[in-house]
Amino acid sequence: MLPHRKKRLQNILLLLGSSFIGIFLILSALNSQLDLFYSPSELNKNNLPKERIKLGGMVKKGSIKYEDTKVLFVLTDFEEDLDIEFDGIPPDLFKEDSGAVMLGSFDGNGVFVAEEVFAKHDENYMPPELSK
């Protein structure tokens, strides 16, 4: 093989190898940040996921209880209910009969321990001056 063809082949193989390594690193980083979204009725109570997930639904009326820094409540999708525990200050829009999305995982007792709580708001915004 001629020296310039050998050099060209080495450069192509080096480029392909570094491309494969870069793609592998990108895909592995994306996979570690992946959180699956579930509603309470989509979860199997006998086989709850062990990894971190996102859970969404409505906060059940009359279910919010405060214990020191913990907030305990029930999340529902009007088919199934799940007990939620959050240690922290919930967002301002967090209230009963309102949508919420949580990020967290299940403990050994089937209670979802939320790391973060996001309150969903009404998309029909009306400024206070116009609502009167």
Q: What is the chain's pLDDT, residue by residue, as a tens digit (132 residues)?
A: 788 899 999 999 999 999 999 999 998 888 777 778 888 988 888 888 888 899 999 999 999 999 988 999 999 999 999 999 999 999 888 888 888 999 999 988 889 999 999 987 766 666 677 666
**Which CATH number does 36-119 carry?**
2.40.50.140
Q: Which of 96, 118, 111, 119 is nearest to 35 (CA)?
A: 118
Tally of CB atoms within 10 A around 42: 13
Q: How far apart are CA 76 and CA 82, in angstroms?
A: 6
